[in-house]
Amino acid sequence: MRSPPNKALQLTRRRRSSCPGYQPAVGRAGGRFAGRPPDVSSPSTGGAQLSALSVRRRRQVGVVKRLPEVESWLSVDAASWEPLSDPAYRSLVRGWKLTYIPLIEARRSLAKGPQALDIVAKRLSGGVVLFSGVHVPEVGNLGGSCAAGYHALGLTRLNVALVRRSELLVAASDLTWSCLFSHETGSMFYEELYEASESAA
């Protein structure tokens, strides 16, 4: 004698197979969804969560982030400026470390504190790069909140408070000099100015 059909199992199967938004994982990763968040409109499928996850992943692809406060300052005090791309940022940091880490470790600075700031103020208009994301413990610079970088021309004024707060490093576009900043400046640390020519001395 045949046992009666399992009504609960039948109902469960109907609910799973009739879900309009259900797709295998491989379907969501390829085809028309490749490279963009899946377009799932039914809230019961968790479409909003999938879309949000995809957006977060896209935002994390790049290394370099944007600093709105710094951009507002550059828009006022620089003749022109542009954010650095990921490749440009990596190239800058690589060249800067090769040139200045040995000088910093040897403590061969050209000037410190107010004297360093006075010298830098006279060199700003020649083109500078400003960047964060590099840890320089010798001056208490922890790299700021993220990796960011900008190239500015015709900068008329250094917003020292913002540069300190953002833990930016400032350097000539050709890396012939660089000034280190820290949010701890004024207590244990001071700005330090270095020149690339010292590495050959």
Q: What is the pLDDT of residue 199?
A: 64
Q: Does the pTM exceed 0.85?
A: no
Q: Where are the domains of the chain?
A: 7-59, 68-200
Q: What is the pLDDT of residue 187?
A: 58
Q: What is the pLDDT of residue 21?
A: 38
What residue ranges of the chain have pLDDT lower than 50?
7-61
Q: What is the pLDDT of residue 140?
A: 86
The β-bridge partners of 153 are 80
Question: Alpha-carbon distance 25 to 20, whole Å?
Answer: 15
CA 36 vs CA 24, 28, 54, 58, 95: distances in Å:
17, 10, 7, 9, 35
Q: What is the pLDDT of residue 80?
A: 97
Write the burial class of residue 89 (CB in 10 Å: 0-12 exposed, 13-18 middle, 19+ buried).
buried
Least Cα distance to 39 among 28, 16, 15, 59 occurs for: 28
